[in-house]
C-alpha cells in the first residue's frame, strides 16, 4: 500500500485558470525539441473546461499530456504506462520550456509548416489505430476510456493495469500498488489473483499483493501475515469475513506526522540510486526517458 492518499492521481492539477484560449495562445501548436541526441515532438491544443491537452512523442512512444494554466505557466502531468510524471511548461522565446519532477529540462521550438508536415507523417506512422488500455486484463472500449478520461480530467496512457474497485488501489500489471484513486469506478473486474505477480501469500480483495506491497505494510506495522484480507476505501483492513484490525492510511499518516518518513530510493537508466525522506510509493518515467520507482522502506 502507498503511504500517501494518492487522490492527487486524479486531482493534482485542478487549479484555477484564466478562461482565455486565444488563437495566439503560446502554448497551443506543434513543437520540436532535442536532448542528448534524442528528438522530442510535442503537440498541444486547448481542451474542454479550459484545459490543455496533447501528446509527447519520444523514443517511439506516444505519451498523453494534460494540464491547466496557472499564472504564466502550465502545470500538468504526462501519463506513461509506469505512472504519472509531474511537469511544468513555460514560454521560452518562440517556444516552450518543459521541466519534469526531477528538474530535467527540454527546450522546444515552434514547428514550421514543413516541420509540422513531418510531425504529421511521423505521428500517423507511430500512433496506434486505436487505444489499448487494459484493466484487470480486459481491454477498455473507446467509449469507456473517453468517459473515464473526461470524468477524471487526466489522460490515461496505453498500457495494462489492475484496479481494486473496493479500495481504489491501482497499479501496472505484475507490479505493486502505484496509488489510490476513487473506489467503485465502473471498470472490469474482479481482479485476477495473480495480476500483481504474487509470491507473498497475502491476498487483499482477491489480489495476491506484490512483495513491495508486503514490504510497505511491514514498514508500517512491523509484521505481516499470510491469508485473505479485505480493505476498503477508507484504509480499514481485516481478515476476510471478520472485522477491521487496522487502518493502513491512518498508520501511514501517523508515521509521517511523527517525522518517521520512510527512506525511498529510485533508479535510472544508468543504474544510479538516490534516497529521499518522506515516504510514499511512486513509479514513473521522467520526460527525458528515465525510469524511476520509489517505495517505502527500501
Instruction: For residues 174-183, give the mean pLDDT.
Output: 88
Q: What is the tens place of the pLDDT at every residue in 77-90?
A: 888 777 788 899 99
Instruction: For residues 12-31, give the mean pLDDT.
Output: 49
Burial bucket for residue 142 (CB in 10 Å: 0-12, 13-18, 19+): exposed
Reduce the secondary structure of 76-120 to three states and give it as a string: EEEEECCEEEEEEEEEECCEEEEEECCCCEEEEEECCHHHHHHHH
Most confident range (mean pLDDT) of 47-51, 208-212, 251-255 is 208-212
Helix (H) or strand (E) run with residue 238 in it: strand 236-239
Q: What integer pLDDT is reported at residue 194 of this predicted model?
A: 95
Q: What integer pLDDT is reported at residue 230 of this predicted model?
A: 97
Q: pTM (2 decimals)?
A: 0.52
With H, G, I as helix, E, B as strand and everything else as coil, classify residue 52. strand
Instruction: For residues 214-243, give the mean pLDDT.
Output: 94
Q: How does DSSP classify residue 31?
A: E
Q: How many CB atoms within 10 Å of residue 170?
A: 21
Burial bucket for residue 277 (CB in 10 Å: 0-12, 13-18, 19+): exposed
Instruction: For residues 117-143, give the mean pLDDT.
Output: 66
| Structural contact between residues 230 and 243, judged by C-beta atoms closer than 8 angstroms | no
| Structural contact between residues 68 and 15, judged by C-beta atoms closer than 8 angstroms | yes
Hey, where are the domains in the chain? 8-126
* Between residues 229 and 281, the one the model is more confident about: 229
Mean per-residue pLDDT of the chain: 74
Q: Which fold has domain 8-126?
A: Lipocalin (2.40.128)
With H, G, I as helix, E, B as strand and everything else as coil, classify residue 231. strand
37: left (phi over 0), alpha (psi -120 to 50) or beta: left
Amino acid at each position: 500500500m502507498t503511504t500517501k492518499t494518492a487522490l492527487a492521481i486524479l486531482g493534482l492539477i485542478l487549479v484555477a485558470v484564466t478562461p482565455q484560449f486565444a488563437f495566439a495562445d503560446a502554448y497551443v501548436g506543434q513543437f520540436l525539441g532535442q536532448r542528448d541526441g534524442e528528438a522530442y515532438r510535442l503537440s498541444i491544443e486547448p481542451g474542454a473546461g479550459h484545459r490543455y491537452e496533447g501528446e509527447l512523442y519520444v523514443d517511439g512512444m506516444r505519451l498523453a499530456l494534460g494540464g491547466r494554466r496557472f499564472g504564466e505557466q502550465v502545470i500538468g502531468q504526462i501519463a506513461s504506462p509506469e505512472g504519472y510524471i509531474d511537469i511544468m511548461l513555460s514560454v521560452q522565446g518562440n517556444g516552450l520550456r518543459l521541466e519534469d519532477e526531477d528538474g530535467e529540462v527540454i527546450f522546444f521550438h515552434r514547428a514550421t509548416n514543413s516541420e509540422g508536415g513531418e510531425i504529421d507523417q511521423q505521428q500517423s506512422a507511430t500512433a496506434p489505430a486505436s487505444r489499448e488500455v487494459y484493466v484487470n486484463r480486459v481491454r477498455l472500449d473507446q467509449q469507456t476510456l473517453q468517459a473515464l478520461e473526461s470524468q477524471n480530467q487526466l489522460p490515461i496512457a496505453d498500457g495494462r493495469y489492475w484496479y481494486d474497485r473496493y479500495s481504489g488501489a491501482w497499479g501496472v500489471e505484475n507490479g505493486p500498488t502505484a496509488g489510490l484513486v476513487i473506489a467503485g469506478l465502473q471498470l472490469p473486474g474482479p481482479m485476477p489473483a495473480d495480476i500483481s505477480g504474487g509470491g507473498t501469500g497475502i491476498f487483499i480483495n482477491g489480489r495476491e499483493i506484490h512483495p513491495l506491497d508486503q514490504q510497505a505494510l511491514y514498514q508500517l506495522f512491523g509484521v505481516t501475515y499470510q491469508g485473505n484480507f479485505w480493505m476498503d476505501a477508507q484504509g480499514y483492513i481485516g481478515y476476510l469475513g471478520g472485522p477491521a484490525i487496522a487502518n493502513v492510511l491512518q498508520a501511514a499518516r501517523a508515521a509521517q506526522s511523527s517525522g518517521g518518513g520512510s527512506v525511498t530510493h529510485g533508479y535510472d537508466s544508468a543504474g544510479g540510486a538516490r534516497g529521499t525522506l518522506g515516504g510514499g510509493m511512486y513509479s514513473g518515467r521522467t520526460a527525458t526517458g528515465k525510469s524511476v520507482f520509489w517505495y517505502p522502506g527500501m
